[in-house]
Amino acid sequence: MTGVAFEETGTAASAPPAHPMPHTKRAIDLAVAGALAVVFSPLMLGVAAAIRWKMGPPVLFKQRRPGFRGKSFVPYKFRTMSEARDRLGKLLSDGERVEPMGSLLRRLSIDELPQVFNVLKGEMSMVGPRPLLEEYLDRYPPEFQRRHDVKPGITGWAQVNGRDTLTFGQRLALDVWYVDHQSIPLDLKIMALTVLRVVGMSGNRAWQDEDEILAIDDVNLTDLARARRGIDETPDPA
């Protein structure tokens, strides 16, 4: 994250909250998500058919994540990895299982398009902290628990301020900063910046699941979560 971004975001407790009107935010979510669902429905149908043809079912990747107030829900994403295993029947690393088509979907963020339906259902917002693994929920440092005081988002303040180049602690701090400073103008700014970053494919690592394997885990959440799930190695990004 750049020095400019740090100056703009400050710390989680640097300013009083500026909350948007919830009905206005919900109206924007419905309008934007509805428009995206209509405009990109042919693309989503084509991607679904291509995944089923190339990788077989299921088309969607579903994994429970904590949402608003920590309530569990299932965000929708297009599947980008195969179920390839080694001779002992153990799943290969994420980097080895990402299909070429999956790499393209991730680079263009197309894999996350189905989450517009989570927004329409009211489980997510267009803008908010990204939903992380449930294993992290009881492991957050206390100051970061407030990231669940708002609905998770398809995009967020951390995503437009560095994404994969941030440490885990920086990302969580940016999430809490958003909770304290959320407003309609800020949401519109984040959505605009997201479009620019998707067009420029900035910050998207095709081999990496950003929610599980972060560049620098400075708050020890990734190791704890991976140990719980019996994962003892980090995928090779080659």
Q: pLDDT tier at 21 (50, 70, 90 boundaries)?
A: low
Residue 212 in tokens: 């599980």
pLDDT computed for residue 225 by the predictor: 53
What is the SS3 assignment for 11? coil
pLDDT computed for residue 127 by the predictor: 96
Average pLDDT rounded to a whole number, residues 169-178: 90
pLDDT computed for residue 236 by the predictor: 38
Per-residue pLDDT of 43-68, as tens digits, reads 999 999 999 998 888 999 988 999 99
pLDDT at 38 over 90: yes
What whole-number percentage of the chain has pLDDT above 90?
A: 40
d(CA 17, CA 191) in angstroms, rounded, equals: 20
pLDDT computed for residue 17 by the predictor: 45
* CB of 78 closer than 8 Å to CB of 113: yes
pLDDT at 22 over 50: yes
More confident residue, 215 or 34: 34
Eight-state DSSP code of residue 111: G
User: What is the average pLDDT value for the chain, to the nearest integer?
Assistant: 78
Comparing 27-36, 100-109, 154-163, 189-198, the range with the smallest average pLDDT is 100-109
Per-residue pLDDT of 195-218, as tens digits, reads 888 777 655 543 344 444 444 555
More confident residue, 4 or 62: 62
Amino acid at 77: K
* CB of 102 closer than 8 Å to CB of 80: yes
Q: Alpha-carbon torsion 68, 167, 170, 28, what sign?
A: negative
* CB of 176 closer than 8 Å to CB of 12: yes
Residue 193: alpha-carbon gap to chain centroid: 15
pLDDT computed for residue 137 by the predictor: 79
pLDDT computed for residue 124 by the predictor: 96
More confident residue, 90 or 8: 90
pLDDT computed for residue 2 by the predictor: 43
